[in-house]
Structure 1
Amino acid sequence: MLFEIICNEFRQQRIEFHSGLNTVLGTKTGNNSIGKSSFLMIVDFVFGGNTYAHATDIIRHVGHHDICFSFIFEQEQFWFVRNTLDHQNVWKCNNTYEKEEELAVDKYCTWLNEKYKLELPYLSFRDAVGRYIRVYGKENLNEKQPLHTVINEKSQKASYALLKLFELYMPIHNLEKQHNISKEAVDTFRKAQKHHFVASVTKRQVDYNTKEIELLTMEIEQIAVGLEKGFADLDAELSDEAIRIKQLLSRARRQRSSINAKLKVVEENLSYRFSIATDDFNQLKKFFPNANLAALSEVEKFHSEISSVFSTELQTEKRRLQKEIADITLVISEYELKLENLIQNPKLSKTILSRHADLQRQIRVLKEQNDAYSKFAQLKQAEKEDSELLLLAHSVQK
């Protein structure tokens, strides 16, 4: 409790308080301007207020001065000094009011809050004490606004301070917190739509999307009718993979056909035989009597020898091409197996796969748009409900 206030400028320099109610009385004749209001402002000054330090009439006539005061908490006394000029600080003192430690007013008020054991959620010491010290010279004298600490304070803030004092504020605080969360969620969603991170659609668009999804789903089911069971469940990602393997398979088959064509040419060259036919030469002599048959025989012999050399090289080329065909055939078999395992239909055309993947993508986009609309509607409904609860709490409070 506040125990004493001392000031050398007082007519009665030391004023001691006792536990319970303390009353400031004027004279029996009811004279004014004897210092009652000034003394109450000094009490407010002791409790961290600033009005007394800005009382120009007092400062002009008295000058800046020290206010000494002490508190007793749990039988322990604490001494302080605060000056009207340096009113942003409070000095902690010894028992003869010699200054020892400087404290900022905020820190000093925190200390008072702890000693008076207020420490109420979201309520400062000044908000708990200062607004209820109503004295001439402060801005809280309007009898029509008994809770306001200043003239232009919002009524909601003033009433909240009273609720905090009686520990009735937390339900409203929780409602406000929830409303702020839901409002922020709606605002964030709107920004995401503005920057095209989330689809922005109307109710009419949602209705159209729903019908379109039904039509696209029916088309997928119709595709599945002509194929093996299970293709209707093939998603877009698997369709893309099937298309990719189909392309690789087609490329490998074309490569194998090209190698087969080369092998056929090599085999035809290997099957060709050079031979010396005397009868043919005799027939030739009938038309060309002067032909040199011996020279022709030498040429034919040379061709036969060359053929023997080429045959070795062609056999090597044939073996190389056959190995390539075997390798590419193995690759083709692997692709066919992968495709079969993937879609259970190795004869599925690229056109069907592409159409299926496209249908799946269209459905996914439409569903994402509808989901965005539903999510936004849920957020707005949550904000509306939270706002209504908060308004209801405010009306009950009033």
Structure 2
Amino acid sequence: MLVKLRCEKFSAHISKEHTISFHEGLNVVCGDDKGSNAIGKSTFLLIIDFVFGGNSYTKLAKDIMENIGVHTFYFEFLFDGDSYFYSRSTDTPNQVAMCTSKYEVINTITVGEYQEELAQQYRIDCAPLRFAEISEHFFRIYIRDNTSARLPMRFKNEKIATSVDIILQLMNAYDASLALKNAEEHLGFKAGQDVKVKEKNYVEQIARNETTMALLQTRLDNLVANNPETQINMLEDISDQERSQMLEASTKLRETARVLDRTKAQMAAISSDRNIASKEYAEEFSALEQFFPHCNVKLFEDIEHFHKRINQMLQMKIQAEMNQLQILAAYYEKEFQRTKEKLQENKLAQRYAERILHQCISISLQIDKLNRENEDLRIEKDRYDKILEMRQELEDLYHAQAKRMAAVADDVNRAMYDINEQVTAGTEQPPHLTIKEDKEISFSTPNNTSEGTSFKNLVIYDLAMFLLTPIPILIHDSNILRNIDNVQFPRVLDAYTKIGKQVFIAFDRIESTPEEARKIIRDHQIVALADGKELFGRSWSKTKTTNRKK
């Protein structure tokens, strides 16, 4: 518990040592009977928040920072019989100093580390809930804008689902919600969400991509084929005139090459025939006479002579034909070279090759992109297939969460019922909390929507949560308490005293309350403030004329 708080800037009328000591239960910051403003009631509650690691004091109370300047708070906690000493300054609000009993600095830690240490000392084990989130919801100070009575469990404009999660974490009932949240994040799918349409779309898209890739592959195959006409006809983004020029040049080049090849083949065939026709057989006839001495070799020689004459005539004819073919070959060779040179001169061949290369690259990139898209689609499809398989598991987790939320609401409602019986003496219905399956909240008193009842419900809700959870302290500003019915107010104060934890409240116009309430307030008063007895000894919001009159 918080035991003492000292600041050299505190007014001497509060304490000569500028030190305030605290009670184990209720601690009251009292204002005067005129209800004077700007005397430091809410400021003191902000300081308590600052002591517990909050940052509203330095961020929201800018007038104090400007008029008081840099100041340091020294404070003592008591846990299990041991004292712990700390200090925190307004010029280094992100740090807290760990101190000796004489407030000599031992070590400096961050505010986050300090709040973690407080959480350990107060035995707050509500992970993943942070200490700062507790203070946001239950350190209710007017300037922090967290005193709305309609939905007291909601801090400012946070999502209702977040408010529910904080209740569950405080009640150590967040396990089902955490399991559901992790499963949904892992699967990318929320319980109750329909995925059949998505799965069908994936299958259709994959099929469309496969068809497109097949068409693109056919175009690519045609572009890289050896048939120039096919390649040219597959080219895109060229004019009809340019396409016609490319086709004409390609056809002429191909036809010239074909004729040249045919001519060279004929020349090779004639050359072979000429070699066969020039062979002589005279020596073979002489050898024949050795085996057949009576044969007429002269007759064979005459025949051979005749053959030679015929061969000479054939050789002449072959040579003439060869000469003609050589002339044709030379012509077509020149024509082939001339056509190639013409293509190179007008850069038609270069444009043709560049077009082919560009479109091959473009089509290949399209195919690669569709392949990657299909891979991603198959991964997503597999994920949603898994989701369909785990649909029942998600539904089970969803219903488990709903049961946990309903059980928590029942526990809170029972506690609020008991506190309401104490506060209203059983004359009014208690507030009722409903947490729906979709994490929506309903909080009201049946047949009673008055402002006083709303603020009474806020107090009852806070006390119920204070009783059921490890919330370390409770802070209620005067704008909450002054709206509570005068008959019920003493019972509210009595409930504060019996809760078993430290409660800090601000209140003024004490003489207008019942005697029972005045006695409780006096017994638990820690600071008395009034016009002329401000927390820091002066009020900078007053005009000089007003100060002179006083």
TM-score, normalised to structure 1's length?
Answer: 0.51
- Change over 3 Å in CA distance of 1:288–1:124 after alignment to 2: closer
Query: Aligned ranges for residues 1-398 of structure 1 at < 5 Å?
Result: 1-11=1-11, 12=14, 13-28=18-33, 30-54=35-59, 55-149=61-155, 151-183=156-188, 201-202=203-204, 283-287=292-296, 375=382, 378-381=385-388, 386=394, 390=398, 393=402, 395-396=436-437, 397=439, 398=441
| Partner SS for 1:144 | coil
Conservation of the 8 A alpha-carbon contact between 2:154 and 2:160:
yes
Q: 1 or 2 for the larger relative contact order (CA 8 Å, sep ≥6)?
A: 2
Distance of 1:112 and 1:72 partners within structure 2? 11
Conservation of the 8 A alpha-carbon contact between 1:179 and 1:383:
no
Deviation at 1:200, TM superposition (A): 5.1
Distance of 1:60 and 1:288 partners within structure 2? 145
Amino acid at match of 1:395: K
Distance of 1:91 and 1:204 partners within structure 2? 62
Q: CA RMSD in A?
A: 4.0
Percent identical across equivalent pairs? 28
Distance of 1:382 and 1:390 partners within structure 2? 16
- Change over 3 Å in CA distance of 1:85–1:372 after alignment to 2: closer
Distance of 1:47 and 1:288 partners within structure 2? 139
Deviation at 1:389, TM superposition (A): 5.6
Distance of 1:160 and 1:39 partners within structure 2? 30
| Partner SS for 2:85 | strand
Deviation at 1:387, TM superposition (A): 7.5
| Partner SS for 1:10 | coil
Amino acid at match of 1:142: S
Distance of 1:176 and 1:282 partners within structure 2? 114
TM-score, normalised to structure 2's length?
Answer: 0.38
Distance of 2:35 and 2:49 partners within structure 1? 24
| Partner SS for 1:103 | strand
- Change over 3 Å in CA distance of 1:382–1:28 after alignment to 2: farther
Deviation at 1:375, TM superposition (A): 4.2
Deviation at 1:155, TM superposition (A): 2.1
| Partner SS for 1:153 | coil
CA deviation vs aligned residue, 1:1-37 (integer Å, no higher than 9, x gap):
1111111222322111122333333335544443221
